[in-house]
Amino acid sequence: MCLPSEVKGMCAVMTILAETDWEKDVTVLRPIRNEICDLMNIKRPVMKQRQT
């Protein structure tokens, strides 16, 4: 059973997904992706460090 806060969060996620121009530069999209992760209560992706 979904809690009202979960439903509100999922509505926000669906709105963000529908309204975002996913063709933009990744530097613009990362914060949006992070917001979606936060709303869904999942861990944000972490960039791996390049080996030198």
Using H for helix, E for strand and C for coil, what is the string for 14-52? HHHHHHCCCCCCHHHHHHHHHHHHHHCCCCCCCCCCCCC
Q: Give per-residue pLDDT as tens, 12-51.
A: 999 999 999 999 999 999 999 999 999 999 999 998 888 8
Q: Specify the pTM.
A: 0.77
8 in a structural domain: yes
49 in a structural domain: no
Say if residues 37 and 17 touch (Cβ distance below 8 Å).
Answer: no
Say if residues 4 and 12 touch (Cβ distance below 8 Å).
Answer: no
Give how many domains the chain has, as a whole number: 1
User: Residue 13: which H helix or E strand, with range?
Assistant: helix 4-19
50 in a structural domain: no
18 in a structural domain: yes
31 in a structural domain: yes
Q: Which one is predicted more confidently, 9 or 27? A: 27
Residue-number span of the structural domain to which 16 is assigned: 4-39
